[in-house]
Amino acid sequence: MTSNNTRQRQRLPTLFEVLNRRTLPPVDLFAFYVFMRDQQRSVDYLDFWLDASQHMSLCRHYVRQLRRSVLMETSELDSKRSSVIMEALKLQEESELQNGPEYESKRLSMVLRSDSMADVSAKKNMSPSKLASQQQNRDEQKEEKGLGREMSASVTVTREHVRESAYRIMTTYFVSGAECELILPLHIIRGITNAIEVDGRDDPEVFDEAKDYVFQAMEREAFPVFLSYKALGNTVPLGSLVRLCIGLFSLFAALWVAFILIFLDWSPKVTRLWLILPFSIGVYGCLAHQFDLDPIIVILGYSELTLLKYMRIREPYVKSLLIRRAIWVLCLTVLIVVCLCVLFGLVPGRRL
């Protein structure tokens, strides 16, 4: 699926495609994560978005299990609970047909809230003796099924797992003094903490407003810079600075030697042709810094992830774009080097 999409896409990817792993290096999610961590210094935004997406996947898995198990429940508690949940599942399916996948968070939240209300309502209507009897029957069933049942339970997503995931996200990003506290509008933070701590919610819709805010912030501030570095260039800032230093040093050395040869009236003049080496390195390094692009590395098919660490360029449109820019930078380098060599090669010598 991803391979077909990348072949058909004749444009730069969007942030949504990157976050949903529909792109290839050097504009994939891993490269964006490294960029947010090392250059943008705002990786907490991306961490939250990924954790919230993982929470929705957990909720999705739980709802699938709920759909499979709800028809098999036979007890009084489960029967009352099933009727409410089945109604919510029916509404979810109708909403999915009408609204499409973009409303998945709302659909999952609808089922999860119905599950919580149905569970509480059914338990209130059941006598303590029936609750105890039901719990005892469940315990006996678990013991009878033995090791196979235990292994299955180890990979089963329970409602408690969903609650723990929601609470962990809240304490990590939205509590004052938290490890990765996000700077968000106060009404968003209060809405999330109240929904989880006061209302007891754990559905993915709790985080929707924060996800939208974080997504828009990354799309507006970080993502355009990311594309300029990875889709229009192939160097990181530190690597670009190293190339500039090497280029300036080489240019200084070339000019120093050129003036020495001129003022010493060095003969034969063909000796000045050796200046092509330092001039080439100097101009190449300066242009690589100017365009954040190392043409030779691009032609070899690589892009810098961090200093001295490279990744293959696999996104077709980005690869073609970088190759065109690399050829243009190489042509500009050759033109400037030829002009410098001709200029300093034809100047008549004058011994001082």
Q: Find out whether 58 and 157 touch, Cβ atoms under 8 Å.
A: yes
Closest by Cα among 51, 55, 59, 53 to 111: 59
What per-residue confidence (pLDDT) applies to 123? 44
Given a cut of 70, whether residue 135 has pLDDT beyond it is no
In a domain, 15, yes or no: no
**What average pLDDT does range 227-236 have in this prediction?**
95
Most confident of 60-64, 103-107, 337-341: 337-341
Neighbours of 184 (CB within 10 A): 18
What per-residue confidence (pLDDT) applies to 302? 97
What per-residue confidence (pLDDT) applies to 153? 43
Given a cut of 60, whether residue 2 has pLDDT beyond it is no
Q: Report how far apart the first and last C-alpha atoms of the chain are (Å, whole number).
A: 72
Are 188 and 244 in the same domain? Answer: no
pLDDT in tens, 246-261: 999 999 999 999 888 8
pLDDT in tens, 156-177: 878 888 899 999 999 999 998 8
Given a cut of 60, whether residue 83 has pLDDT beyond it is no
Are 96 and 184 in the same domain? Answer: yes
Q: What is the DSSP secondary structure assignment for residue 273, as one 8-state letter?
A: G
Are 161 and 305 in the same domain? Answer: no
At position 91, the amino acid (one-letter code) is L
| 219, HSE (Cβ side, Cα atoms, 13 Å) | 14
Task: Taking the CA atoms of 347, 348, 351 and 352 in sequence, report the sign of the dihedral they define.
Answer: negative
Q: Find out whether 276 and 336 touch, Cβ atoms under 8 Å.
A: no
- Judged by DSSP in three states, 220 sits in helix
In a domain, 23, yes or no: no
What per-residue confidence (pLDDT) applies to 77? 42
In a domain, 283, yes or no: yes
Are 310 and 276 in the same domain? Answer: yes
What per-residue confidence (pLDDT) applies to 156? 81
pLDDT in tens, 287-307: 999 999 999 999 999 999 999
pLDDT in tens, 311-332: 999 999 999 999 999 999 999 9
Given a cut of 80, whether residue 209 has pLDDT beyond it is yes
Are 153 and 105 in the same domain? Answer: yes
Are 73 and 181 in the same domain? Answer: yes
What per-residue confidence (pLDDT) applies to 286? 97
Are 141 and 249 in the same domain? Answer: no
Most confident of 87-91, 123-127, 203-207, 263-267: 203-207
Domain end, chosen from 203, 224, 245, is at 224
DSSP string, 297-313: HHHTTEEEEETTEEEE-
Question: What is the pTM (predicted TM-score) of this model?
Answer: 0.79
Q: How far apart are CA 271 and CA 291, in angstroms?
A: 32
Among the residues of the chain, which ranges form H helices? Answer: 2-8, 15-19, 29-35, 43-70, 76-99, 104-124, 128-154, 159-173, 186-193, 208-217, 223-230, 237-263, 276-291, 295-299, 316-346
Long-range interactions of 293-297: CB distance < 8 A, separation 24+: 293/232, 293/233, 293/234, 293/235, 293/322, 293/325, 293/326, 293/329, 294/234, 294/235, 294/239, 294/243, 295/326, 295/327, 295/329, 295/330, 295/333, 296/326, 297/234, 297/235
Neighbours of 79 (CB within 10 A): 11
Given a cut of 80, whether residue 282 has pLDDT beyond it is yes
**What average pLDDT does range 65-87 have in this prediction?**
55
Q: Find out whether 278 and 253 touch, Cβ atoms under 8 Å.
A: yes
Most confident of 41-45, 90-94, 279-283: 279-283
Indicate the number of domains in the chain: 2
More confident residue, 289 or 141: 289
Are 164 and 266 in the same domain? Answer: no
Region of residue 301 (phi > 0: left; psi between -120 and 50: alpha; otherwise: beta): left
Given a cut of 60, whether residue 96 has pLDDT beyond it is no
Are 155 and 65 in the same domain? Answer: yes
| Helical pair 208-217 and 186-193, crossing angle rounded to 10 deg | 150
Q: In sequence order, what are the beta bridge partners of 311? A: 303
Are 321 and 205 in the same domain? Answer: no
Segment among 121-135, 146-160, 193-207, 248-262 with least mean pLDDT: 121-135
What per-residue confidence (pLDDT) applies to 131? 42
What per-residue confidence (pLDDT) applies to 73? 54
Q: Find out whether 248 and 285 touch, Cβ atoms under 8 Å.
A: yes
In a domain, 6, yes or no: no
Are 76 and 95 in the same domain? Answer: yes
Given a cut of 90, whether residue 95 has pLDDT beyond it is no
- Judged by DSSP in three states, 255 sits in helix
In a domain, 333, yes or no: yes
Q: Find out whether 250 and 288 touch, Cβ atoms under 8 Å.
A: no
Domain end, chosen from 169, 199, 224, is at 224
Q: Whole domain around residue 292: which residue ranges?
A: 232-346
Q: Find out whether 289 and 240 touch, Cβ atoms under 8 Å.
A: yes
